[in-house]
Structure 1
Amino acid sequence: MDMVTTILVCILSAMAASLSSAGGVGGGSLYLPILDLVGGLDLKTATALSAFMVAGGSLSNVLCNNLLLLNGSSIDYDIALLSQPCMLLGVGAGVVCNVVFPEWLVTALFALFLGLSTVKTFQAGFVCWNAESDGVVRVHAPAGGKGVEEALLMEEEEGGAGYETPWAKLAVLMLIWLCFFVLHVLNGDKDGKIITRVRPCGLKYWLITSSQVPIAIGFTAYILYRRRRNRHNKPDQQKVGKDTVVYNTIEALPVVVFPMAALLSGVLGGLFGIGGGLLINPVLLQIGVPPQVTAATTSFMVLFSSSMSMVQYLILGMKDIKQALVFSAVCFVASIVGLVAIQRAIVKSGRVSLIVFSVSAVMALSAVSITCFGAVDVWRKYIDGKNMGFKLPC
């Protein structure tokens, strides 16, 4: 990639990071077409770079929510705890699939997934628009146009008051991440040369890899047990304010909803180099979680899953690390700028759904462009007689 192309990719990636930071999605579906079509990279290389960019943007989003905007209480750590083990398990499976699957299949699956996600995001946007319209009717002042703006400002101030970071839950999340990280390090890189000399695709390799399944199930079962025990010990304790909706929604759902959705989003995130937020985000919106809580929680979860994808690509022998760090830094800064600007626009206009619709439109264009480019690329490889089949995972 020459200097002019690199600068153009950085500019477009910064714009994509600014847009994606509003809804809490990682932006991988926007980065991939940019790296593929503009940067001229093949889809697998673009996928690995995208994992770094998603991690950088999500990190700045989480830091900005907790430190700069003072609305860290919007993050629902219960949803994150319940979903994270299965999401990280899915990331590992997705990265292996990325290595095994031929590029034409990755392109087809990506186009299908992005098309479905576009429809879901448009639906979430319409739901959000209708909810905002209902809110205008309820809070509009009879004598003027200040009612909505004042209500929004008051809600934002209440959200940031008296918030304390739940360090115990953060510690459990970090422990989960470290457990999966240790397993990947033990397996080593593609030549088995990290700490232990584990032969790729050997018995020890698959034993270590398959141990992710009981670890994910064990953590999920433990978290569910602790939730039920705490609810039994404190039956009268209820969350108040905007958290009441989230609390009641989680309690009314089957316990497997969040882990299964997280597992699927993790697989897709590892396969396509995205953080999985494009799947989790519509799910949370459709089950009734408020948009601001959805955005903050999704961004927080994407940080863990995308960082795990990033580590796995490094272990698998990824090249162009300096370039990946540059793009990641660009997305880090752009996400902060975009999040601050979008928050101000939301307070001024009172409509978060406008951002959801804009991201949906970009996703639709990305689905069309990546499908067309992928079809042409697959045809060229077929004409050249290149290998179009599956590969070994190691």
Structure 2
Amino acid sequence: MERGFIFSLLAVFSVISLSIYITTHHYNHNNRHPFLPSPSPPTSLISKSDDRIWPKLELNWRIVMATIIGFLGSAFGTVGGVGGGGIFVPMLTLIVGFDTKSAAALSKCMIMGASTSSVWYNLRVPHPCREVPILDYDLALLFQPMLMLGITLGVALSVVFPYWLITVLTILLFSGTSSRSFLKAIEMWKEETIMKKEMERPREPTVNSRGELLIDTYEPLIPKEEKTPMQIFLFNLRWEKLMALIVVWAAFLALQIIKASSFLNYTFDFQESNQLVNDLVACSTSYWVITIIQFPVALAVFGHECVKLYKESKKRKSMGNPESVCEAAIDWTGPHLTFCAFCGILGGTVGGLLGSGGGFILGPLLLEIGVMPQVASATATFVMMFSSSLSVVEFYLLKRFPIPHALYLMAVSVTAGFWGQFFIRKLVAVLKRASIIVFILSAVIFTSALTMGVIGIDKSMRMTHNHEFMGFLEFCSSQ
């Protein structure tokens, strides 16, 4: 079912993109329609889109509303493992008054703060049913390089795709993933209800062959040793795999800094030869070399993890061991590994295209391959901590967000991420229903679909009313 869902999204994405490209290409060469001008937009439109609107940080109803929405969005977003970028960007633009690019940058700061505090909390939490870390490092190493590679591609395509097409993709993707997650949550809720009834059913005493009364108390013969928070923390922290994730993060960061610095070395004058300067920077040899280098870096880490999972899975099968290699309840065969690579790149591309961290794909995907909700939430948040921090550094180098607002909103999200994890984990433990996490995941994605869909439709209608360019832009002239 997950394959059909992903392939249907890709099919819709490809058909819409191809049809619009053909349409705009045809009109650009034959009819100079006001809605489809030449590929290079007017300089007035470029300067408007680059304007930075940074309101002052002062106590008023706007900052109070932003604090409340930011706190709730961070708390529920990190619990669901999706971050909450689909809520933060509309809040920062509509309520606080930031421009779209600055709102996206501040949204990444909030996601980084919330995910970091959530990871710190999860490192002090034991696995609910196994003697393994609650963070699945194998899945993180499998998806992180593909996700980062996809985000790089998505960010590059975001300046080429028309705004209305991005809005359509947002509505389709978020509606599909939220509905699928909601159905998954209902299915889990029913299973949990059956299990609770079985556990509450009184056990009948049994009699052995000698007539002795036997009572099954389901108590282990050897009591389970209780660990201190520090012991749990050290057990969850696997330095070797953590360093591998940090190395991948640092490699992508270095490449992005080199690419960003090449842009910062030029002074863009939108009144004189803007097209020429952009072409020289965006499509130069160094630009393509830096972009292409990211592929072998990501594929090397992904390939190493694939070989490890495949060999371990084959070894356990030959020994008759039914236990899965990691939390995912699938066989690590060639087709499954290829499918994971495809989903990682697709999730990152869509995340970069929509301005999110990829959690809207990764969270539901982990549930689809059989990862239990607590581990899926912790692992998805763990991966998002790396991807969001990478974006924050890039935005900081480009001076894309005001420091005071970033520090304040990060403080709100850090607090919300920690307490959100605390209360929801306690609620799951008391009610014994992990499906609550999946319901929260579905609700956050659905709310993001509503907010981003409304804003996207409104902006697309205003662009149509103002006779602005509504087609694809050329890649080089748009970077």
TM-score range relative to shorter protein: 0.7 to 0.9
Task: Give the counterpart letter for 2:256 in structure 1.
Answer: H
Task: Give the counterpart letter for 1:119 in structure 2.
Answer: S
Of the three residues 217, 236, 258, the one matched with 2:299 is 217
Of the three residues 81, 96, 107, the one matched with 2:156 is 96
Looking at structure 1, the residues matched to 444 and 243 of structure 2 have their Cα atoms a distance apart, in angstroms, of 36
Looking at structure 1, the residues matched to 225 and 344 of structure 2 have their Cα atoms a distance apart, in angstroms, of 28
Judge conservation of contact 1:79–1:258 (CA < 8 Å) in 2: no
Number of the residue aligned with 1:346: 428
Q: CA deviation at 1:229?
A: 5.3
Judge conservation of contact 2:147–2:344 (CA < 8 Å) in 1: yes
Number of the residue aligned with 1:296: 378
* Unaligned segments of structure 1, at least 5 residues: 144-149
Distance 1:287-1:21 versus aligned 2 partners, 3 A rule: same
Secondary structure of 2:202's aligned partner: coil
Judge conservation of contact 1:47–1:272 (CA < 8 Å) in 2: no
Judge conservation of contact 1:97–1:271 (CA < 8 Å) in 2: yes
- Structure 1 window deviating more from structure 2 (157-166 vs 249-258): it is 157-166
Judge conservation of contact 2:363–2:380 (CA < 8 Å) in 1: yes
Task: Give the counterpart letter for 2:120 in structure 1.
Answer: L
Distance 1:126-1:233 versus aligned 2 partners, 3 A rule: closer
- Structure 1 window deviating more from structure 2 (215-224 vs 130-139): it is 130-139
Secondary structure of 1:274's aligned partner: coil
Looking at structure 2, the residues matched to 246 and 358 of structure 1 have their Cα atoms a distance apart, in angstroms, of 21
Secondary structure of 2:235's aligned partner: coil
Q: CA deviation at 1:185?
A: 1.4
Q: CA deviation at 1:362?
A: 4.7
1:51 aligns with 2:108: yes
Q: CA deviation at 1:343?
A: 1.3
Q: CA deviation at 1:180?
A: 0.9
Which structure's CA Rg is the greater one? Answer: 2
Q: How does 1:103-142 map to 2 (within 5 A)?
A: 103-140=163-200, 142=202
The CA deviation string for residues 113-152 of structure 1, in whole angstroms up to 9 with x for no partner, is: 2222211221221232123223213433528xxxxxx99x
Number of the residue aligned with 1:146: none
Identity over aligned pairs, percent: 31
Looking at structure 2, the residues matched to 231 and 286 of structure 1 have their Cα atoms a distance apart, in angstroms, of 19
Q: CA deviation at 1:359?
A: 4.6
TM-score (norm 2): 0.70
Task: Give the counterpart letter for 2:464 in structure 1.
Answer: Y
1:79 aligns with 2:133: no
Judge conservation of contact 1:44–1:103 (CA < 8 Å) in 2: no
Looking at structure 2, the residues matched to 190 and 319 of structure 1 have their Cα atoms a distance apart, in angstroms, of 20
Number of the residue aligned with 2:248: 176
Secondary structure of 2:181's aligned partner: helix
Number of the residue aligned with 2:118: 61
Secondary structure of 2:265's aligned partner: coil
Number of the residue aligned with 2:237: 165
Q: CA deviation at 1:222?
A: 2.0
Task: Give the counterpart letter for 1:93 in structure 2.
Answer: L
Distance 1:313-1:294 versus aligned 2 partners, 3 A rule: same
- Structure 1 window deviating more from structure 2 (74-83 vs 311-320): it is 311-320
Number of the residue aligned with 2:408: 326
The CA deviation string for residues 221-267 of structure 1, in whole angstroms up to 9 with x for no partner, is: 12223445566788769697xx7772652536621122221111111
Q: CA deviation at 1:285?
A: 1.2
Looking at structure 2, the residues matched to 164 and 362 of structure 1 have their Cα atoms a distance apart, in angstroms, of 28
Distance 1:95-1:156 versus aligned 2 partners, 3 A rule: farther
Number of the residue aligned with 1:8: 65
Number of the residue aligned with 2:260: 188
Number of the residue aligned with 1:263: 345
- Structure 1 window deviating more from structure 2 (267-276 vs 208-217): it is 267-276
Query: Number of paired residues?
Result: 380
Looking at structure 2, the residues matched to 155 and 124 of structure 1 have their Cα atoms a distance apart, in angstroms, of 32
Judge conservation of contact 1:190–1:317 (CA < 8 Å) in 2: no
Looking at structure 2, the residues matched to 90 and 283 of structure 1 have their Cα atoms a distance apart, in angstroms, of 15
Task: Give the counterpart letter for 2:375 in structure 1.
Answer: V
The CA deviation string for residues 289-334 of structure 1, in whole angstroms up to 9 with x for no partner, is: 1111111111111111222222333344523343233222211111
Judge conservation of contact 2:80–2:440 (CA < 8 Å) in 1: no
Q: CA deviation at 1:371?
A: 2.1
Query: Larger helix proportion, structure 1 or 2?
Result: 1
1:24 aligns with 2:96: no
Q: CA deviation at 1:81?
A: 1.0
* Unaligned segments of structure 2, at least 5 residues: 1-54, 204-218, 267-279
Task: Give the counterpart letter for 1:170 in structure 2.
Answer: L
Judge conservation of contact 2:135–2:236 (CA < 8 Å) in 1: no
Looking at structure 2, the residues matched to 108 and 269 of structure 1 have their Cα atoms a distance apart, in angstroms, of 14
Of the three residues 314, 324, 327, the one matched with 1:246 is 327
- Structure 1 window deviating more from structure 2 (365-374 vs 81-90): it is 365-374
Looking at structure 2, the residues matched to 157 and 260 of structure 1 have their Cα atoms a distance apart, in angstroms, of 41
Judge conservation of contact 1:9–1:39 (CA < 8 Å) in 2: yes
Judge conservation of contact 1:249–1:289 (CA < 8 Å) in 2: no
Number of the residue aligned with 2:455: 373
Secondary structure of 1:73's aligned partner: coil
Judge conservation of contact 2:79–2:377 (CA < 8 Å) in 1: yes
Number of the residue aligned with 1:39: 96
Of the three residues 271, 274, 290, the one matched with 2:356 is 274
Aligned-residue CA RMSD (Å): 3.3
Secondary structure of 2:123's aligned partner: helix
Distance 1:166-1:366 versus aligned 2 partners, 3 A rule: closer
Looking at structure 2, the residues matched to 258 and 156 of structure 1 have their Cα atoms a distance apart, in angstroms, of 37
